[in-house]
Structure 1
């Protein structure tokens, strides 16, 4: 059997590949075109951790963990000919699709990057779904990491997938409306709709894993050898809020909270993210779901100001003097929104949470304090506008 992981050079894809390969003798085939490295370089930033070349990573996985079932193919999933050949030759039994341009701020820079993001993300997913149909692989379990960002910020508790709509006394279960707030997040709303359609038309078993904001630097497998590091982005475009805050603390900057910062966002540790994807991928074929399931891959909602204060507290434990400062919010958002999001199906899948927010941030500081020089050399990338200035020059 073959498990195909797309975006396998990425922040989530790489440690997921290691976790799965360590738990099965099946072949784990990695696919990537290394575009994430190019996007981050384009905005003038870099990963705080050293991201080894893919061959070095694979060699380290074999030497450190004895993993001989990992292999790699370089290619662009927006190229249908490449996808067709990939599926025809390798006939995967499971696909974990983590490949995407994942940055909302990057997608918002200008029309060119909005177009690129939508073409890249949607074309890749469509090619894979249609490829499964056209190559008679509709029993393949298709697992995609979309995002909880498809839900937007409604004022009611967010269900795990669908919603009940009522009109004139009649009601029905319908897909949750696309309330995404960026050109990137909207690609995942479209992907969710396309996956639902692929299940209806082709009967492909689909797991739509709506992943929350992921934090952390290490998993059980990556911490064994520096060559196995996953990437850690901290700039405005590709660094998530918790990672940017931690990097600011390491560089000696105050943690910058926009406005009140009382709005809550869904979060999950890298360790728990990887574990959930691995458990989905390794479901016994005889017990594999044959339907379309939505999982809200999150463990809790955390306010921005709580994130900042936690980072200040944990940073102090690591010998840093961390201040939290509030600045005028450049974004049009509700600074007090209390998001509630259901995740019962995901909890049933993963069991108990492996790593809480405080422990995950502790991991981040243990990693970043060893790479402070990299962060300080790129500290101007904490704020928006850097890429726009580079484009104007």
Structure 2
């Protein structure tokens, strides 16, 4: 079987390329390197079943030959990235979604869309099930990402209803692990980089807000199962770790694991920063027989080890 993965040089996309190759698929990776890095997929060049296309998904896409699955994972995902590239972010999850859906229609391929827990906004329902419609500020600074993903979900369902495309929407909650950038802007790479560099660890507000953190290997397993199982057309599925963690407790755990002398300091809360975020993964358990296996401590230890090597290379 042959799959196309957009955002292939990104954090999640590169792990997906690796896993699908391991499963015996031919993989076509596509990326324009706005936030992805060639380093993430350098080890795959020369693999007989891997082909890379340096291309921007906001343009018309044509790929020769058959394609069985399209995985649309291209999009800046860190607030630092999507707030500094707001128009491009919205194009990736509007024009990019339209173009990849069009390709799936042409090739009669299954379509997997990487949505996000951000579609729930600052939720009133907790934990968040797929049936919750969300509470999103449509004109706030995060809206370029939140609303673009919500639009893409609507586009996916329109293609499912009108053209019968086998669409699956995966709402991905906070994910972490090796290959995140040191200056990614998201909380775990921020804290680890600050701790390893001996810099103050910057916690927004009082650190009472919560997140749930899923290790990359667990997430990739969930995506693979959602991609390969039959009978899921039109389904929306949360993928994430249901263990809820206060940000202040995360900061203290990273200080402990890195044996850092960094102090924890508190900075103003960004606009529209959600107070609580945690997935209801009942549906993933029932449909995919999936739930995370890695504990936060175990995943952080693996991630810290990778960041240590990365930071040494940058010296």
Q: Indicate whether the TM-score tops 0.5.
A: yes
1:311 matched to 2:283? The reply is no
The answer as to whether partners of 2:239 and 2:279 remain within 8 angstroms in 1 is no
The answer as to whether partners of 2:10 and 2:40 remain within 8 angstroms in 1 is no
* Aligned-partner Cα distance in 1 for 2:233–2:290: 22
Quote how far apart the aligned CAs of 1:148 are: 0.4
| Aligned pair partner of 2:263 in 301, 323, 326 | 323
Aligned match of 1:224 = none
Aligned match of 2:294 = 355
| Aligned pair partner of 2:73 in 71, 89, 98 | 98
TM-score, with structure 2 as normaliser: 0.88
Aligned match of 2:112 = 143
What do the CA deviations read for 1:365-388 (whole angstroms, capped 9, x no partner)? 21222233566x7xxxxxxxxxxx
Aligned match of 2:185 = 239
| Aligned pair partner of 2:241 in 287, 299, 304 | 299
* Aligned-partner Cα distance in 2 for 1:289–1:304: 38
| RMSD of Structure 2 on Structure 1 (CA) | 2.4
Question: Structure 2 regions of 5+ residues with no counterpart?
Answer: none
Question: Structure 1 regions of 5+ residues with no counterpart?
Answer: 38-46, 63-67, 164-175, 218-230, 378-393
* Aligned-partner Cα distance in 2 for 1:78–1:178: 28
The answer as to whether partners of 1:160 and 1:294 remain within 8 angstroms in 2 is no
1:258 matched to 2:204? The reply is yes
* Aligned-partner Cα distance in 2 for 1:290–1:13: 22
Aligned match of 2:162 = 201
SS in structure 2 opposite 1:36? coil
Quote how far apart the aligned CAs of 1:330 are: 4.3
* Aligned-partner Cα distance in 2 for 1:363–1:260: 27
**Worse-superposed segment, 2-11 or 241-250:** 2-11
SS in structure 1 opposite 2:304? helix
Structure number with bigger Rg: 1
TM-score, with structure 1 as normaliser: 0.72
| Aligned pair partner of 1:76 in 36, 46, 56 | 56
What do the CA deviations read for 1:22-57 (whole angstroms, capped 9, x no partner)? 122x322222222225xxxxxxxxx8xxx5385553
Aligned match of 2:30 = 31
SS in structure 1 opposite 2:51? strand
Quote how far apart the aligned CAs of 1:351 are: 2.9
Count of aligned positions: 309
The answer as to whether partners of 2:201 and 2:251 remain within 8 angstroms in 1 is yes
What do the CA deviations read for 1:67-99 (whole angstroms, capped 9, x no partner)? x3222222221111xx1x21xx23311111111
